[in-house]
């Protein structure tokens, strides 16, 4: 098959490209390199089944052409990372909403199935654990810019589902929970690459808040297997699916584990949220997915533990530093 991956030079998109190419598919990538990087796809440049375009998904005539060349579309292009969202809310909202609108409009003309990547952020401050896809979304006030991301992703989901219902376009929504692995940069605030780099350079490991907040980290190789399974399985169309790990860890424990595994002398330093992000910043205390739905439908579940994830990220950051 021929797949178009928007945001294909990003961390997740480039791993998805690797996987699809390995399985003998053809892959076309569009990325504006705002958070993605040519470094992520440079090993694919010689592959004749791979091609890429550096441009923005809001370029409608170009998107019409690229979608026409593909059998199905993974729409991953989005503003990512909490830090970026807090610092550039206009960019976040525009990219996420207009970008998805363009992709769905053009895909609808050509009737090409689309997977829209959403985020566990949409659950917001819900405390109904684990998060199930039909659970309520609990978002904060509009004066807190963090919530613009969740809101923009929720609009993306509504749009995808509406295109399926009203225009007959096959769509599927994947809600990605904290995804980590090689190539992820700490530049946009992501915690694991940040802690690993700090530990390997013996700099203070910066734990935000009291560090008792928890997350479940999923290896990107597992995540992209789930994405592929959803878009290539017609029974998933019209649905919303969580993709994530259920292995929960607090940021305090994570900092300790990374420090130990790296044999680091870094001190662990707690930083108040106001200082780390912006005044009044609201974090999620806990975020854990129910993965029953995707498991029951396509038998997907993550295979790699946190230990494997940390070892892969540490090797990757070590190579970058050397």
Catalytic residues: 149
Closest distance to ligand UDP from the beta carbon of 108 (Å): 30
Closest distance to ligand UDP from the beta carbon of 284 (Å): 7
For residues 41 to 70, the per-residue mask of contacts with ligand UDP, x marking binding by CB under 6 A and - elsewhere, is ------------------------------
Query: Can residue 82 be called a binding residue for ligand UDP (CB under 6 A)?
Result: yes
Class of residue 306 by CB neighbours under 10 A (exposed 0-12, middle 13-18, buried 19+)? buried
- Find the helix packing angle between 89-110 and 60-69, rounded to 10°: 50
| Calpha distance 70→4 (Å, rounded) | 6
Query: Can residue 283 be called a binding residue for ligand UDP (CB under 6 A)?
Result: yes
Contact in structure between 184 and 193 (CB atoms under 8 Å) = yes
Query: Can residue 189 be called a binding residue for ligand UDP (CB under 6 A)?
Result: yes
Among the candidate windows 45-53, 159-167, 183-191, 298-306, which touches ligand UDP by CB under 6 A? Answer: 183-191
Closest distance to ligand UDP from the beta carbon of 94 (Å): 20
Closest distance to ligand UDP from the beta carbon of 189 (Å): 4
Dihedrals φ, ψ of 4, to 5°?
A: -100, 130
| Calpha distance 298→27 (Å, rounded) | 23
240-279 residues in contact with ligand UDP (CB under 6 A) are 251
Taking alpha carbons only, the member of 49, 42, 11, 10 closest to residue 28 is 49
Query: Can residue 191 be called a binding residue for ligand UDP (CB under 6 A)?
Result: yes
Please give the C-alpha separations between residue 173 and each of 79, 110, 159, 231, 319, in angstroms, as whole numbers: 17, 19, 10, 9, 34
Query: Can residue 282 be called a binding residue for ligand UDP (CB under 6 A)?
Result: no
Residue of 190, 225, 314, 317 that binds ligand UDP (CB under 6 A)? 190
DSSP 221-244: HHHHHHHHHHHT-GGGTT-EEEE-
Residue of 15, 25, 26, 215 that binds ligand UDP (CB under 6 A)? 215
- E strands in the chain: 2-6, 26-31, 50-54, 72-75, 114-119, 171-176, 179-180, 205-208, 214-216, 218-219, 240-243, 248-250, 268-271
Closest distance to ligand UDP from the beta carbon of 298 (Å): 25
Of 21 and 138, CB closest to ligand UDP? 138
Query: Can residue 206 be called a binding residue for ligand UDP (CB under 6 A)?
Result: yes
Distance separating the N- and C-terminal Cα atoms of the chain = 38
Among the candidate windows 58-66, 97-105, 186-194, 226-234, which touches ligand UDP by CB under 6 A? Answer: 186-194
Contact residues: ligand UDP, CB under 6 A:
82, 178, 189-191, 194, 206-208, 213, 215, 251, 283
């Amino acid at each position: 098959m021929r797949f178009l991956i928007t945001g294909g030079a990003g961390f997740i998109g480039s791993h998805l490209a690797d996987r699809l190419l390995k399985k003998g598919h053809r892959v076309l990538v569009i990325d504006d390199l705002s958070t993605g990087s040519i470094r992520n796809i440079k090993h694919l440049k010689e592959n004749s089944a791979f091609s890429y375009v550096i441009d923005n998904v809001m370029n409608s005539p170009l998107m019409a052409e690229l979608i026409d060349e593909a059998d199905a579309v993974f729409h991953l292009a989005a503003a990512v990372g909490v830090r970026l969202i807090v610092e550039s809310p206009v960019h976040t909202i525009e990219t996420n909403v207009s970008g998805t609108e363009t992709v769905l409009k053009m895909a609808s003309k050509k009737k090409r199935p689309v997977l829209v990547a959403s985020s566990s952020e949409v659950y917001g401050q819900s405390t109904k654990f684990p998060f199930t896809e039909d659970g309520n979304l609990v978002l904060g006030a509009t004066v807190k810019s963090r919530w613009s991301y969740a809101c923009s992703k929720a609009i993306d989901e509504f749009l995808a589902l509406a295109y399926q219902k009203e225009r007959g376009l096959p769509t599927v929504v994947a809600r990605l929970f904290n995804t980590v692995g090689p190539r992820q940069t700490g530049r946009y605030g992501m915690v694991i690459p940040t802690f690993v780099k700090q530990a390997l350079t013996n700099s203070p490991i910066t734990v935000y808040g009291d560090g008792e907040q928890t997350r479940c980290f999923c290896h990107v190789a597992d995540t992209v297997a789930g994405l592929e399974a959803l878009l290539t399985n017609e029974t998933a169309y019209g649905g919303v699916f969580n993709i994530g790990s259920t292995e929960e860890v607090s940021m305090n424990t994570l900092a300790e584990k990374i420090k130990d595994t790296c044999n680091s002398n870094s001190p662990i330093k707690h930083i108040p949220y106001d200082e780390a992000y912006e005044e009044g910043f609201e974090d999620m205390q806990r975020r854990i997915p129910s993965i029953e739905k995707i498991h029951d439908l396509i038998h997907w579940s993550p295979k790699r533990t946190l230990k494997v994830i940390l070892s892969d990220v540490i090797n990757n950051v070590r190579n970058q530093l050397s």
